[in-house]
Amino acid sequence: MDPLKARVRLGYSRSWVVRKYSLIGLWPSEVHLTRKFFAPGSRLLDIGCGAGRTSIPLAQAGHEIVAVDLATPMVAQTHALAEFAGCRVRGVAADAAILPFPANTFDGVLFSYNGIELVPREAGKRAVLSEVFRTLRPGGHFIFTTHALEAFNRYAWDRLQRVLDQLGRMLTFRSIADEEFGEIIPDPSRNVEVYYMQINSPRKYRRMLRSTGFGLRYFNSRSRIDALKPPGWLADFDGDFKFYVAQKP
């Protein structure tokens, strides 16, 4: 396994992280978008399911759920919590870039809580988008969220410093091999939740969606959705998470 991907799996296999992700429930923005873009009784794939935060309420809403996570302990916790909640969720430990499902299997796909940012490198993210496109049925929707490099929030200065530092290393030939902008790779000796993350611009995700073959049906920030504000260019700079709804033609 790729070393960066192994870091992600390690981080989300620790017991305290599994416990942290064991709170179940959709955000109001997720309720709004899943009701709007996932038809009742859909067969859905929940990528990066964690401990079942989104899988379980979607199953309770009447959808057929297949939940996938790179970390086996997360999948085990999803099964346990789904059984406790009295609903059925099929959990699978798998890599989102190599999904073990036939083409045209799902009516909809969800990759919540900025999980795509934990997929190493732009090439890895493109592989995930290609796999989602392959396994979606024509007309199916893909909902996912990200941070944004240009988001105006309390982390903006830290993000700018990291980008300037990376740019300086690249210009002076001190960069790590294959280093990409937006990457955050903490020291593995630290007991932190995230051992790898890459924060890109929403513009890059929109380009990647188009090049994969998706049509972008909806884009907005979580806070704007919660406040019932329409999509617009200001959503790129809003400090909250970004929601993308893409459709396979």
Q: What is the pLDDT of residue 163?
A: 63
Strand 215-221 vs strand 242-247: parallel, antiparallel, or unpaired? antiparallel
User: Domain of 54?
Assistant: 3-247
The number of folded domains in the chain is 1
Taking Cα atoms as reference points, which of 52, 132, 73, 62 lies closest to residue 97? 132
CATH number at residue 222: 3.40.50.150
Calculate ∠ Cα 122-104-201, nearest 5°: 25
pLDDT at residue 145, as a whole number? 97
User: Which regions of the chain are under pLDDT 70?
Assistant: 149, 151-178
